[in-house]
């Protein structure tokens, strides 16, 4: 195994774990953006690794804070997520086998628009969204979670529009992510795609997840949360545009 790949992988996982423990989302998007953009790992392999690492991150980040989860919001988001995860995972596998450049374009567009949604701070609604609207956003989150193991841009944007305390939103989003990643991992395992390579990268990444999550809980960033998000997602926006343009050119040529 190339040691430079391992070093880059660990650095990205460390930052993604730290960021998610501070804000409540985006670990998956950060990892898939950087490592997928650099083409260090293939998207199906990368997303399988992200799912398993996210489960550990969320369990550590939520420790002692389960009581903060908003059960109503979690229920309706989850009701939309679970069936859509299967659709997203099936779509990713089909595109990877039949039209890989289209899959990379989808990844680039997802990162681009997801980053824009995170850079632009959503204003909270005057009242909570109804069950149907929440279910629809849960379905969108499940779809991209199934494809890229990163439902943060959809669920994060929607969650932060709810008139709830920040701690409640953060804990509820983390609970939704563990639902997405656990369901996705079970489906990947049923399909026989939890390979030795997936397990190896998960084992390599575990210490970085533990350290990043601990740092996020223990040491808050000096930047405000808004400035931290704008800085990180501003960089991801550039990566998303780069991935989209490169994949589109390969498809045309």
- Per-residue model confidence as pLDDT tens digits over 186-235: 999 998 888 999 999 999 999 999 999 899 888 877 767 667 667 777 77
Question: CA nearest 109: which of 235, 232, 241?
Answer: 241
pLDDT confidence of residue 121: 63
pLDDT confidence of residue 253: 60
CA angle 155, 157, 163 (to 5 degrees): 100
pLDDT confidence of residue 48: 92
244 vs 77: CA distance, rounded Å: 29
pLDDT confidence of residue 32: 85
Residue numbers of the domain that contains 137: 3-252
pLDDT confidence of residue 49: 93
- Each of the 253 residues of the chain gets a pLDDT tens digit; together they read 678 889 999 999 999 898 888 877 778 888 888 888 778 888 899 999 999 998 888 888 888 889 999 999 999 999 999 999 999 999 999 999 898 889 889 888 888 887 787 677 667 788 999 999 999 999 999 999 999 888 877 888 888 889 998 889 889 998 998 999 999 999 999 988 889 999 999 999 999 999 998 998 888 777 676 676 677 777 778 888 888 888 888 777 6
**Contact 199/53 with Cβ under 8 angstroms?**
no
Between the alpha carbon of residue 209 and those of residues 56, 137, 176, the distances in Å are 7, 28, 18
Q: What is the pTM of this model?
A: 0.84
pLDDT confidence of residue 71: 95
Position of tokens 């960021």? 19
Structural domain total, the chain: 1
pLDDT confidence of residue 231: 73
pLDDT confidence of residue 1: 64
Contacts of 152 (CB under 8 A, 6+ apart): 20, 25, 26, 27, 28, 29, 114, 173, 177
Between the alpha carbon of residue 174 and those of residues 55, 119, 168, 243, the distances in Å are 9, 20, 10, 27
pLDDT confidence of residue 225: 63
């Amino acid at each position: 195994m190339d040691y430079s790949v391992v070093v880059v992988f660990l650095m990205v996982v460390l930052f993604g774990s730290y960021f998610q423990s501070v804000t409540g989302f985006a670990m998956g998007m950060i990892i898939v953006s950087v490592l997928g953009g650099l083409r260090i790992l293939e998207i199906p392999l990368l997303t399988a690794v992200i799912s398993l690492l996210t489960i550990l991150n969320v369990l550590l980040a939520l420790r002692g804070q389960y009581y903060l989860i908003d059960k109503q919001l979690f229920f309706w988001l989850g009701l939309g997520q679970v069936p859509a995860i299967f659709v997203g995972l099936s779509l990713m596998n089909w595109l990877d086998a039949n039209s890989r450049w289209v899959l990379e374009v989808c990844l680039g567009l997802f990162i681009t628009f997801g980053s824009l949604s995170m850079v632009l701070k959503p204003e909270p609604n005057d009242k909570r969204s109804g069950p149907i609207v929440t279910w629809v956003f849960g379905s969108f989150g499940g779809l991209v979670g199934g494809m890229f193991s990163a439902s943060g841009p959809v669920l994060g944007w929607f969650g932060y529009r709810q008139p709830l305390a920040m701690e409640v939103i953060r804990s509820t989003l983390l609970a939704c992510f563990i639902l997405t990643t656990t369901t996705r991992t079970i489906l990947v395992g049923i399909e026989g795609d939890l390979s030795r390579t997936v397990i190896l990268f998960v084992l390599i990444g575990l210490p970085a997840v533990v350290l990043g999550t601990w740092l996020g809980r223990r040491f808050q960033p000096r930047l405000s949360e808004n400035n931290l998000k704008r800085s990180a997602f501003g960089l991801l926006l550039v990566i998303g545009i780069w991935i989209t343009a490169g994949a589109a050119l390969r498809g045309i040529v």
